[in-house]
Amino acid sequence: AAATAAPEKKEFWRWQENTWFDETKNWKDAKIITCGIDVGSVSSQAVLVCDGELYGYNSMRTGNNSPDSAKNALQGIMDKIGMKLEDINYVVGTGYGRVNVPFAHKAITEIACHARGANYMGGNQVRTILDMGGQDCKAIHCDEKGKVTNFLMNDKCAAGTGRGMEVISDLMQIPIAELGPRSFDVDVEPEAVSSICVVFAKSEALGLLKAGYTKNMVIAAYCQAMAERVVSLLERIGVEEGFFITCGIAKNPGVVKRIERLLGIKQVETKIDSQIAGALGAALFGYTLMQKQ
Residue 44 lies in a domain: yes
For residues 123 and 112, what is the distance between their CA atoms, to the nearest angstrom?
Answer: 16
CATH number at residue 39: 3.30.420.40
Q: Are 246 and 131 in contact (CB under 8 A)?
A: yes
Residue 5 lies in a domain: no
Cα 286 to Cα 88, 104, 202, 283, distances in angstroms: 11, 10, 41, 5
Q: Are 90 and 290 in contact (CB under 8 A)?
A: yes
On whether both 150 and 261 belong to a single domain, the answer is yes
On whether both 167 and 263 belong to a single domain, the answer is yes
Q: Are 148 and 117 in contact (CB under 8 A)?
A: no
| 62 burial level (CB within 10 Å; 0-12, 13-18, 19+) | buried
Q: Are 164 and 201 in contact (CB under 8 A)?
A: yes
For residues 256 and 246, what is the distance between their CA atoms, to the nearest angstrom?
Answer: 11
- pLDDT for the residue numbered 6: 55
Residue 194 lies in a domain: yes
On whether both 111 and 25 belong to a single domain, the answer is yes
On whether both 150 and 63 belong to a single domain, the answer is no
**How would you write the pLDDT of the chain (293 residues) with one tens digit per residue?**
455 555 567 888 888 899 999 999 999 999 999 999 999 988 999 999 999 999 999 999 998 899 999 999 999 999 999 999 999 999 999 998 999 999 999 999 999 999 999 999 999 999 999 998 887 889 999 999 999 999 999 866 655 677 888 889 999 999 999 999 999 999 999 998 887 677 777 888 899 999 999 999 999 999 998 899 889 999 999 998 899 999 988 999 999 999 999 999 999 999 999 999 999 999 999 999 999 98
Triad 79, 91, 61: Cα angle to 5°: 55
On whether both 174 and 149 belong to a single domain, the answer is yes
Q: Are 26 and 5 in contact (CB under 8 A)?
A: no
Residue 75 lies in a domain: yes
On whether both 228 and 257 belong to a single domain, the answer is yes
Residue 197 lies in a domain: yes
Question: What is the pTM for the complete model shown?
Answer: 0.93
On whether both 202 and 283 belong to a single domain, the answer is no
On whether both 191 and 231 belong to a single domain, the answer is yes
Residue 196 lies in a domain: yes
Structural domain of 169: 144-267
CA 180 to chain centroid, in Å, comes to 15
- pLDDT for the residue numbered 164: 83
On whether both 152 and 241 belong to a single domain, the answer is yes
Q: Count structural domains, the chain.
A: 2
Residue 104 lies in a domain: yes
On whether both 29 and 116 belong to a single domain, the answer is yes
On whether both 259 and 285 belong to a single domain, the answer is no
Residue 3 lies in a domain: no
On whether both 174 and 108 belong to a single domain, the answer is no
Residue 109: count other Cβ atoms within 10 Å of its Cβ.
15
For β-strands 33-39 and 43-50, DSSP reports them as: antiparallel
